[in-house]
Amino acid sequence: MSVFKGIALITGSAQGIGRGIALRLARDGFDIALNDMPNKGTQLESVATEIESLGRRVCVVPADVSANEQVKEMVDGAVTKLGGLDVMVANAGVVVGSGLLLSSTVEAWDHIFSVNARGTFLCYKYAAMHMVEQGRGGRIIGASSVAGKFGFHSTCAYSATKFAVRGLTQVAALELGKYGITVNAYAPGVIQTPMSEDALNKSKNQTTEGVFGDPEATKWITSIYGNVPIKHVGQPADIASIVSYLASKEAHFITGQCISVDGGMCMS
């Protein structure tokens, strides 16, 4: 059995990358607080059962990460049920509503920002408040994207939110370092998850002209993928592995970083 390493809260953990991170941290020895939207209860309970089978404690704290009071209650609930908080993984995010600048609506822009940017801010804020009060340091980790490293064709709002996560991560790292709290982000390339497959299928069905309804986007995306040096379809476990390291004691000297996990799509 893994040695107990602390308590980790992962948002958006009913499926995909969040689920992979939760299971990996449980295997590493963390007790786990699982979060997703309230309508994902069945999926969350399934992940909880898997974590319990690994010998770790687990609780479910449903919440909409874009809602201030719900995020506060989510973090408070995890602390109350499991006895503290050592790692916050602000993983929850959406792609729906992203698209071309000229055709994007204000409503779509506000929706995607409310989840991807405001949601990450709220998770960072309330997790940090508990970690500072506990006085034992901590790890805060957010979800950026390759689309937060360079503008990604036909993802106007989505790219903007992922650049926002990078800026927020750097500022939080500056403020929280004196408390022994590191703040970092991961930037996935294309990862095979239910959300990414759903987004791709919807974009293909919008028109016969190509991905995202724009033949130029199709050409651009094809050229980007064609130049990735590691020919591997990204999996949630690939992201979970970097989160595992960032959550560890060994990563104490890494903060304010946004680490690409994309097979070499974006090099810096």
- Sign of the dihedral through C-alpha 201, 203, 205, 211: negative
- Measured from the Cβ of residue 23, the count of other Cβ atoms closer than 10 Å reads 21
What pLDDT does 160 receive? Answer: 95
Q: 160 and 118 in contact (C-beta within 8 Å)? A: no
Question: Could you give the CA distance from residue 97 to residue 105 in angstroms, rounded to a whole number?
Answer: 8
First to last CA, the chain: 38
- Alpha-carbon distance values, 128 to 86, 87, 103 (Å): 10, 10, 38
Q: Which of 124, 126, 158, 186 is catalytic?
A: 158
- Is 158 among the catalytic positions? yes
What pLDDT does 229 receive? Answer: 83
* 208: Cβ contacts below 8 Å, ≥ 6 apart: none
Q: Which of 40, 126, 149, 162 is catalytic?
A: 162
Along the 268 residues of the chain, how does pLDDT read in single tens digits? 578 899 999 999 999 999 999 999 999 999 999 999 999 999 999 999 999 999 999 999 999 999 999 999 999 999 999 999 999 999 999 987 668 899 889 999 999 999 999 999 999 999 999 999 999 999 999 999 999 998 877 889 999 999 999 999 999 999 999 999 999 999 999 888 776 556 555 544 544 444 455 666 666 666 666 778 887 888 999 999 999 999 999 999 999 999 999 888 888 7
What pLDDT does 209 receive? Answer: 42
What pLDDT does 173 receive? Answer: 98
DSSP assignments along the chain, one per residue: -PPP-EEEEESS-SSHHHHHHHHHHHHHTEEEEE---GGGHHHHHHHHHHHHHTT--EEE----TTSHHHHHHHHHHHHHHHS--SEEEE-----TT---TTT--HHHHHHHHIIIIIHHHHHHHHHHHHHHHHTS-EEEEEE--GGGTSPPTT-HHHHHHHHHHHHHHHHHHHHHGGGTEEEEEEEE-SB--HHHHHHHHHHHHT-TT-GGG-HHHHHHHHHHHHT-SS---B-HHHHHHHHHHHTSGGGTT--S-EEEESTTSS--
- Is 126 among the catalytic positions? no
- Measured from the Cβ of residue 180, the count of other Cβ atoms closer than 10 Å reads 14
Domains of the chain: 6-192+234-261 (3.40.50.720)
What pLDDT does 222 receive? Answer: 66
The pTM score is 0.90
Burial of 68 (0-12, 13-18, 19+ CB in 10 A): middle
